Structure 1
Amino acid sequence: MLRLSTLLAGRAWWSPKGARAVRYGAARGRLVSTSDSGDGVLLWVHGGAFVSGSPRVDQWLAAKYGALAGIPAFVPRYRLAPEHPFPAAADDVLGAYDALLARGFAAETIRVAGISSGGALVAGLLGDLVREGLPMPGAPRC
């Protein structure tokens, strides 16, 4: 277990090829791309029990899933508890989705996924989209 956590913690600070910090409107995060197909984007929401984690920590996992789908992955930064109580993180993830729409991605070409608390935020995002009357993404995965 120590070896795995050391590997993951060590890798978090090395960027995959093509990774860079980006800002889409108010949404900040990391864009990781092994493919620039232009056929969509993966909105990957990082985990961390709502109190830790960052786009940089999950960029390797996002890069792998993006590569499998043949699309770049955007890992947004969201505000963490307890300094920023609910619904701050959910609002930030909705803002990231809105930013991708504003950037010109059609809803059906946006895939959303996340791990751990990121998966919970993805599930919440889908509910928020219905309540707000916004278009649903192409392929949600939690």
Structure 2
Amino acid sequence: MTRQTHFNNPLLLGFDELASILDSVGKGASEGYPPYNIEHVGTDVIRISLAVAGFTTDDLEVIHEGNQLSVKGKVPAQDKEREYLHRGIAARQFLRKFVLADNMEVVDAYLENGLLNLDVKKPKPEEHRKVITIR
């Protein structure tokens, strides 16, 4: 059975990859850990803030590959001397993925007050016009 999408329209040429990107985003949307915010900080910068209490910079890995931004958290090393009566702060491994538009780049990453902040810069759109010669 062939799945029908709006991208099957014959007037939308070269958007095949966009359908698969939307599928992958939909699959990861149900995962709720770690919670995150996305906000505008300036005209062309977006900040992604992930709540990563209990993680250090050594426990976190941020990779920007192609159009995908991945944030991976490894389980922090346990302090053997601690004895918890209640442990409500989650410290489990995670993998959170974000799909970025073409030419977006991560310009800053810092850990502050239990939040991993990633600043992503949006490129200025280039307008181009080309007259095609008919032969």
TM (norm. structure 2) is: 0.32
Which has the larger helix fraction? 1
For the pair shown, the structure with the greater C-alpha radius of gyration is: 2
